[in-house]
Amino acid sequence: MTPEGYAILETARPSGRGGGVAIIYRKHLKSSLVSIPASTTFENICARLITSTGPVIFLKVYRPGSERPITRSFEELAAVLESLVIYSCPVIVGGDFNIQMQSDPDTRRLNDLLTSLDMVQHVRGPTYRCGGTLDLVLTFADQPLEGITVDPPGAISDHSLVVCQLSIDVDRPSEVERLVRGWRAVGRDKLRHALEASSLCQPVSSTMNVDQLFATYDAALRDVADQLAPSHVIRRRPGRPTPWFDAECRALRRDCRRLERRYRRTQCPMDRHAWVQATRHRFQTYRAKKDKKA
């Protein structure tokens, strides 16, 4: 179902023929599903892909065009997009929204929602055989995309193929090998009995010198460790130091949490806008400090 070297995350339509949404990605990238609020008016799947540059969040959306979007559609979309505000990594939202993106009430309502979340819609021009920009690509305003192209509809389906580029490195991330032991699975009583039965608890010859005693100690402990917690190799990406995270960053984080609590309490659009703006500013500051330290 997927090209060689690729994997897929998908959510099938629960009933009826066809449908469903999917994200196809290079197999070597680590992936995980992202929990988002449930929706009944559109299908979606959200995933995090780990690249050597860092994580990227992808949200795929399909809203059936057989009926006009209702108030509940916008409320559910707002809840889903709000849940992505907290991520400092690039967030890419794409799919068939089945909204014409013309001068109509539905388009104005969607644009107002995107403005309140500081998001940008990048696709220009018709993406459907019968006209209308139905297929959209959204990002936060501080996460630009490059090279957006819209192929003429009809080549593969009645919708256009929309292609965009994000400046990330999708090569295999570097990994560090470590030799570890699973000590958490070893009970204290079992360890005590093993030590008591080892040479450490046996009489020591008076003729042994210091080097011999240390060699006996090391060999006995290694033998106990190999019995109870055999060593094995794990592979992990090297951690990223954060010397750039200073008092200003901590203050911005506290302020964002305060604004988020206020918005969750009031559900006021102005409070939401203030929280979103503060959060995006915090992430911009983080990136600037990281780039400065690099």
SS3 173: coil
**Based on the domain organization, do 232 and 251 belong to the same domain?**
no
- pLDDT surpasses 70 at 276: yes
30 sits in which H/E element: strand 30-33
pLDDT at 203 over 70: yes
In angstroms, rounded to a whole number, what is the distance separating the alpha carbons of residues 281 and 88?
10
> Is 71 in the same domain as 18?
yes
State what percent of residues in the chain have pLDDT above 70: 95
Whether the CB-CB separation of 97 and 133 falls below 8 Å is answered with: no
CA–CA separation, 244 and 294 (whole Å): 9
Query: Domain of 282?
Result: 247-293
What's the whole-number mean pLDDT along residues 214-226?
Answer: 93
Question: Residue 23: pLDDT band by 50, 70, 90 thresholds?
Answer: very high
Residue 126 makes CB contacts below 8 A (sequence gap 6+) with 132, 133, 153, 160
The more confident residue out of 54 and 61 is: 61
Quick check: 17 pLDDT over 80?
A: no
* Burial class of 71 by CB neighbour count within 10 A (0 to 12, 13 to 18, 19+): exposed
Same domain, 271 and 159: no
Could you tell me if residue 223 is inside a domain? yes
Mean pLDDT of 180-202: 91
Mean pLDDT across 244-265: 92
∠ CA 179-181-185, nearest 5°, is: 160
> Mean of the pLDDT values across residues 254-264?
93
Compute the distance between CA of residue 31 and CA of residue 49 in angstroms, rounded to an integer. 5
**124 within a domain of the structure (yes/no):** yes
pLDDT tens track for 136-148:
999 998 888 888 8
Q: In the structure encoding, which two tokens stand for residue 23, read together?
A: 């994200």
The answer on pLDDT for 20 being more than 90 is no
Amino acid sitting at position 25: Y
Side-chain-side CA neighbours of residue 31 (13 Å)? 18
The DSSP annotation for 125-146 comes to S--BTTSS--EEEEEETTS--E
Whether pTM > 0.85 for this model: the answer is no
* More confident of the two residues 93 and 242: 93
pLDDT at 238 over 70: no
Q: Which residue, of 236, 260, 278, is where some domain finishes? A: 236
Specify the number of domains making up the chain: 3
Same domain, 77 and 195: no
Q: What is the mean pLDDT of the chain?
A: 88
The answer to whether position 145 is within a domain reads: yes
Domain shared by 16 and 158, yes or no: yes
